[in-house]
Structures are given as structure tokens and as C-alpha cells.
Amino acid sequence: MVPIRRHTPPPLALWILATSAAPSALLAQVINHVKKLKKNAAEISEGYTIPSDVDEVRVEVEGDATKSGSFIVKASLCCEEGPEILTDLRQTLQSLHLKIIRAEISTLGGRVKNVLVMTSDGSSRAIDKHVLVATVHQALKSILDRVNSQLDFLPSTSFSSKRRRISPFESSSSSSSLLY
């Protein structure tokens, strides 16, 4: 088993570095170290449902259509906890004729992440998977916008004072692997 703090330099090494290096060089090393720690944290949490500090919507179609013409869709919504978010999710997905086959919901520090695996109910056989991804993405984005607008009207003492950030990455993609 690897010691937990093996990847971090000991405090004495940082102190020696701080006293012998130029401030700009020290700052560059600190920035690189923080980037490395963030990358490591992202890799470790990839297999887990942990809310991130950015608002994001991701939608993927897993594999091709099944024999019945339905698709398996994996979607995630990460945002500040807000009133009625689960109700909004359920109503939105029902209106899109999607059936939830697995759901993972986690909260951390006033944030929530919902990961939903769904299938179309078979009534949308003629729909293209790219259209389905775009439709689900837009529906979840509207929920995110609604939650954020509701939070603007709530007292600021009930939620964290961190500013909301939007993910700079493309938030929808498609995958060719089949989810079981």
C-alpha cells in the first residue's frame, strides 16, 4: 500500500525551496503542483459520483439502437442543490419518453450530481441518436438554468458564497460502448 502523502513534498523541502528560489520560480512551481493535484483528484474521482465545483450537463448515447429501436442514454447534471430539482428531472424525462433504469445521486458541500442511465420507451424508433442527445442536453440545461435562477432569489446565507462556474469543456458527447 502506498502512503497517502507520498505525492506531496515534505514541508521542510518546500521551506528550503521557498528560501532559495526566486519568487517567480516558486510561484511557477506552486502552480504546477496545484495543477498536478487537480489532475490527480480528477482521475481518482472519475469512477465515482462526486459533485464538482462547476455546473455541467453531460449526455452520451451508449452504443447503437437495440433491436426494439430504443437507445441507452447516460446523462449527468451537476449543480448547486436547489428546491425541486428531482421533481424537475422526473417531469422532464417523462416528457421526453425516457425510462430511468439506473440513477446515482450524490451531494457534497451544497452541490449535487445526478447521473442517470435511461432508455427510450421504444415509441421514438425513428429518432436519430444525435437528435436524442441534443434534446436531452437542452432539457437538462433548462433545468440547470431554472435551478440557478431560483438560487438567485433565495437568501444567500442558505447556500455557499462561491461563485458558480461553467465548465469550459464540451458537455455532450457520444460513445460507442454498450452499457449493461
Residue type, 24: S
Model pLDDT, residue 141? 94
The CATH code of the domain that includes 69 is 3.30.70.260
> Do 67 and 143 lie in a common domain?
yes
Same domain, 41 and 58: no
**What is the C-alpha separation between 101 and 74, in angstroms, rounded?**
10
Among residues 80, 57, 82, 39, the alpha carbon closest in space to that of 162 is found at 80
Range of the domain at 146: 54-166
My answer on whether 116 and 63 are in the same domain is: yes
pLDDT digits (tens, 9 = 90+) for 74-120: 999 999 988 788 899 889 888 888 888 999 999 988 899 999 999 87
6 found inside a domain: no
Tally of structural domains, the chain: 2
Q: Which of 52, 99, 59, 64 is nearest to 75 (CA)?
A: 59
**Residues 37 and 112 both lie in one domain:** no
Same domain, yes or no: 18 and 86: no
